[in-house]
Structure formats: C-alpha cells, structure tokens
Chains A and B, each alone.
Chain A
Amino acid sequence: MSLEVLDLVVEIDGRRVVDGVSFDVPDGARLGLIGESGSGKSVTALAVLGLLPDGAVARGSIRWNGAELIGMPDRELARLRGDDIGIVFQEPRTALNPIRTVGRQIAESVRIHTGAGRREARLRAIEEATRVHLPDPETIIDKYPHQLSGGQRQRVAIAMALACRPRLLIADEPTTALDVTIQAEILNLLLSLVDEHGMSLMFITHDLAVLAQVATYGVVLDSGRVIEAAPVQALLTAPASPITQGLLRDATATLWRPEGGA
C-alpha cells in the first residue's frame, strides 16, 4: 500500500500552484512536506484525495497501491477516502460540523464504509474516543463541537480520520492552530496511533522543528516545486538550499523558545 506522486501539476483558474511535484510514501513510511504558506503543500494533499476546489485541474500521476487516482471517477475515490486514506485538517474550530454530535461525526466514516447501524456506530464512536484519550468518552460523544476545547476537537478530528483504520494518514498542519502545550500532546498522540496501526504518514507543516519529531524523510516545497528532498536528519544538519536554511533558522527560533515544550 504505497503512494506514488509523479510530476503532479495543479492549476487553479489557470494559475499553477503545484508545478511538477514528485515523491513516494512507501508502506509504513513517514514523509514530511514542508514549506511556507502558499508553497502548494495543502493543495498537494487535497489532490491526493481528489478534493481540489472548483476550477482546479490536476495533471501528472498519483498512484495509490498501483491504481491511478487522477481521473478516477468520484464514486470510486469516495470508497478510498476515509477507508484507505484519512486526513486531519489544520483548524479544529471549523473541521467539525457544529450541529452534529461529535460521536456521530467520529463514526461517520465507519457507517459509510461498513454500513454499520446506529447502535454499532455509537459503540465504535466510544471506542475511538477512548483511543484518542478524550475524557469521559460515553458522555463526550453526545456533546456538540462548541462544548469542547480546541485540543479536544482536534482529538475528535483525529478519531474521525482513523475510525476506519486507513493505511495512509495525511495530517495537514494538525497542531498549528493549537496552544503550544497542547501541540506536543496532539503530536505524541498522532505518532503513537500511527505506530500502533503501522500506518503511513504524510505530514504537512511549515515548522522544521515539528517535522524533525514526526517524519523520517522530508520534501521541501517552494512556489509549487520540490526544492530539496532528503532524510530529515540531513535537512537539519546540512540544508542544501537557502529555502531550507531559512526554514531551519525559523525552526531553531521555536526550539530555543523557553516554553517551546516540544
């Protein structure tokens, strides 16, 4: 179960936002996509899921387990989403439906992909809530998103992404919107779950310090192009491009901050 992206080009309303990106995520690997905002990393993630916004066109090749995802009918893609490939978004405030209980949202993909009934889905939701260490799972699944804290909501989002035990987890800056103290907790949770299930991970961030903790291999993007691709250790110790060197300077600043926690 591997992801192979080859020469991916994405144009939104004629503007090239991803320009010939290639990388592999072999089974069980942890890959980091890193770059400033606007470098095309989130768009790359959405392209993998076939969820690009209106007016966007993707060319090149994205192969999941040998099957070509670009040009695949939406119905077939929908079968992979959530079941084979899960995603956690950046902003936990908006990633949950405000008028559905968190339990129903956690179990949504289970109901879609296994056809589980209400009762079974509820039990699964409690199980998944426990797995992401939400306090008091039996009662919290009947709450609405606005009754939860930011960190709790991101745990719900992780539970949603992992409910069907996908083979690949895409995490799009999952800690950026959180408090520094919560960031470390969420990162550790994510990593332990990825380990436990032997999933592949594609982690998107702008922070090299975070990347160093989660990924073994890093791909540096700038203006939609791959600038540098190397093991994370190499990026940290011997950054080849000025872009990576800049990211390293910013990251070092975070690492040196006393409350950096991580």
Chain B
Amino acid sequence: MPRWLRLLWSNGTGRFGLIVMATVALVALVSLLWTPFDPLDADVRNRWAAPSWPHLLGTDGTGRDILSLIMAGTRTTVFVSAGAGIVATVVGIALAALGALTARWMRETVAVLVDILIAFPVLIIAMMISSVWGGSLWVVIWAVGIGFGVNIARVTRPELRRVQQSDFVLAGRASGLTASQNLVRHLLPNVAQVFIVQLSWSMAVAVLAEAGLSYLGFGASVTEPSWGILLADLQRYIGIHPLSVLWPGLAITVTVLALNLLGDALREATDPTLQHRMAEIRTPEVVA
C-alpha cells in the first residue's frame, strides 16, 4: 500500500470519505446489473408506500421503488461528477499553465480571460450550452467543468508561478530535465495540494449542480434516473410525505460531504511537510 493511501486510511475523515465514495461507485456498478425493482416500473396499487419490505425506502407517487431509483441515480451522479472533474482538470491545468509559464503577453491575456470567465455563473454557462445543444447530462458536465475549471485555474496559476520561480525548479533543469519533464516532475506535484482541494470541491459541486440543473430542466431528462430529478419530484409532496424526500436529500448530502472530506484528507496525506508538522504537534520531539 503506498504511503499516501496508508496515511489517508489512518485519518478518520479520510477513511469516511474513502468508504462513502467506494460505496457510491460500487452501488453505481451494481445498479447496472441489479436493482430491487425496475426503477421506472410504476406499481400503481402501491403508491406512497412507507419504508417496509419489499420497498425498503418506500415508493413515490406513481409507485416506483425509491431505493431502486436512488441506486440507478448513483450512475448519473458518478458519471456527472467524474466527467465534470475531468473537464475541470483539463481546463484548469491548461489555463493555469498557460497563465503561469508562457511569455508575458500570453500570461496577461490568460489572466484577463480567466477574470472574464469567472464572472459567468455555472447556471448561465449551462443555459448558454443547453440553448445550443438542448438539455442533457453533458450540459451539466461541460458547464460545471468549464465553470470550475476556471476557478481551479484562478487558484492554481499564482501557485504555479510561485513554484516556477523556486530554485529547485531551476535545479531540476540544471540536472538535465527538459522543460516539459520538469513541469511533470517538479512543478505540477508542488501545486497538487491546492489542486486536489479545488478538484474535490468541483466534483462535489457537480453532484449538487446536477441535482439543481436537472431540477430546472437543463440536465437529465425525466426518464433518466437522477437524484436531482427524484428530489424535485418528491419535494412537491413534502407536506404530505416528508420521509420520502429525505432519501435523495441524504444521498446528495452524504456524497458531497464525503467528497469534500476526502479532498481535505488527500491534501494532508500527500504533503510531507504537513505530516511532519502535525507529528510534531502530537508528539514533541527533538529533531536532530
């Protein structure tokens, strides 16, 4: 087991985040093969069933099994969150690198571009994309990916610039690394801590944004299983059946929380200087 994974596991929040995200991924996989009921199958005689056997989390207003809906919705969540994470990574790293490591006119152009893009809320980006290509999960992925990629670039760019001016980057070049090898070996790993936190946050927001945008009609279509659509459906009856709306809400909250905690723990686990400081706080010792 690599050192960072061991450290991640030994940290309470890290372990929680890891377990929850592993469960989410596993449920998404299982739901491809099996769910207790067909999530789209309406059992009209069994509407608004309370949590009981065989409907463990009850049924909704058309008699669909809520557990099966949530399980199937996990696929959408994983897909959107991972997709947005990938887009945000590519957009963020590309803009940060262009804005930090190139010639001065290019750096300044990118800085202005980032400042302009950051003024566009994710919702506006989603509306612009969906007005051209119509509403789908891809709209959510691109909107959140671009919106938060710009955010990642904004935070990562000055960090990259700071690291680039340090002696060890020069020393890497002096050892014979080419500029691109140096970027991969010395520059990017040193901004990883900042980047990881931003990325986990973007992925968590993607889960929320999918729920919100699907609710508004820019995301998943009604036939696609999604926590956001389910939540929107059920919250209309919150006065009559408050318990049923709890389940998709809980799924979203726990996943978002786990992603955030996982990001924080991952940052700690991959920063050797931080571990050293923390170890010193816990057990004071003389370091020769």
Contact = CB atoms under 8 A, between A and B. Distances in A.
Question: Do A and B come together as binding partners?
Answer: yes
Interface of A: 49, 51, 54-55, 74-75, 78-83, 86-87, 89, 91, 94-100, 108-109, 112-113, 144, 146-147, 149, 157, 160-161
Contacts of A112: 175-177, 181
A89 B170 CA distance: 9
Contact of A54 (B104, B176, B185, B272): B104
For chain B, give the interface size range: 20 to 34
B71 to A, nearest CB: 40
Contacts of B276: 144, 146-147
B1 interface: no
Contacts of B103: 54
B273 interface: yes
Contact of A96 (B171, B173, B174, B185): B171
B175 A108 contact: yes
A146 B272 contact: yes
Contacts, number: 82
A224 to B, nearest CB: 21
A157 B176 contact: no
B272 A108 contact: no
B52 interface: no
A51 B186 CA distance: 16
Contacts of B190: 97-99
Nearest to B271: A99
A56 to B, nearest CB: 13
A128 to B, nearest CB: 13
Given A99-B272, A146-B276, A51 B170 contact: yes
Contacts of B174: 49, 51, 81-82, 86-87, 161
A160 B273 contact: no
B240 interface: no
A144 B190 CA distance: 14
Contacts of B104: 54-55
Given A91-B167, A157-B171, A147 B179 contact: no
Nearest to A86: B174
B283 interface: no
B167 A89 contact: yes
A95 B176 contact: no
Contacts of A144: 272-273, 276
Given A55-B104, A99-B189, A109 B167 contact: no
Which 10 pairs between the two chains have the least Cβ-Cβ distance? A82-B176, A109-B175, A82-B175, A94-B167, A95-B167, A144-B272, A97-B168, A112-B176, A81-B176, A87-B174
Contacts of A86: 174
Contacts of A109: 175-176
A74 B178 contact: yes
17 contacts: A54-B103, A81-B174, A81-B176, A82-B176, A89-B171, A94-B167, A95-B168, A96-B168, A96-B171, A97-B168, A97-B190, A98-B273, A99-B190, A99-B273, A112-B175, A144-B272, A147-B276
B61 interface: no
B166 interface: yes
Contacts of B249: none
A144 B270 CA distance: 12
B287 A94 contact: no
A112 B185 CA distance: 12
Given A94-B167, A98-B272, A78 B178 contact: yes
Contact of A78 (B167, B171, B177): B177
B51 interface: no
